Amino acid sequence: MERAVRTWLTQLDVERGVSAHTLTAYTRDSRRYLDHLAARGVTAPDQVTEAHVAGFLASLRTGDQDHPPLAASSAARSLTAVRGLHKFLVLEGETTHDPAGEVTPPTPPSRLPKAISVAEVTSLLDAAGVGDGALPLRDRALLEVLYGTGARISEAVGLDVDDLDLEAGAARLLGKGGKERIVPLGSYACDAVDGWLVRGRPALGAKGRAGPALFVNQRGARLSRQSAWAVITGAAERAGLTGHVSPHTLRHSFATHLLEGGADVRVVQELLGHASVTTTQIYTMVTVQQLREVYAQSHPRAR
């Protein structure tokens, strides 16, 4: 099993090109799975049964002396790793049966995405550009791109200068699994990026380590996800926004505001880079909730 897991992880890294974050999570999940099997004397793929996999899932939910209980979503993610492993082993001929195929993941409770209003987004963007010098120009451009495209934070900091066509109003994003997509870039974002490129980036990029990166830090190197996160939280504090505001907040707000404006869910799916429209449909719950609130406040027979 140890050898099989190493081969699988290598295949994910080299052939499928999964993100470093996903690879780290799957490595951690498979390590815990191997420990679970070893404790039961299972050392080879053809020894694993459905009961072993179901037992592993149950142990994730209950926890043990070394691990706290996992939420349904985290346990489901770990089971996804295990199912991917066993499917790979069948395809590679290491075993003839898939013991994980019929094990059902726990259903996480439905949670509405956290979005902020258009007015709050405007306040956040304005707060990001407060001050003089290169950094406020960069911060405003970064947040305009995040909200204007619905990009993940990793996609935004991974942008190169050549990935943007400001005249056409478009950006090329590199998403999960190395999949590229072209998304529109509105005039506000284009203006903010242009200001950053003309008046801000040359000063920081002159330090020689920027390379092709669109967003760079004070040392002239590509901006990290952690630093971009700090930019957003700092702007949220200056804007006086209460509650948790993260990079994903802007992505959620992007999708929610599009749907509230009448956009088709499949268009939003393409813009977000979701592989399945089912992932995008959770945002429709937000708009339905808004309709219910308006109905409850306006209709004389609503209560």
Of the residues 83, 138, 152, 252, only one is catalytic, namely 152
Of the residues 40, 114, 225, 248, only one is catalytic, namely 248
Whether 176 is catalytic is yes
Whether 207 is catalytic is no
Of the residues 176, 181, 225, 238, only one is catalytic, namely 176
How far is 68 from 66, CA to CA, in rounded Å? 7
Task: Output Rg (C-alpha) for the chain, integer angstroms.
Answer: 23
Whether 147 is catalytic is no
Of the residues 201, 251, 252, 257, only one is catalytic, namely 251
Whether 274 is catalytic is yes
**Per-residue CA distances from 189 to 130, 184, 221 (Å):** 16, 10, 22
Whether 251 is catalytic is yes
- Residues taking part in catalysis: 152, 176, 248, 251, 274, 283
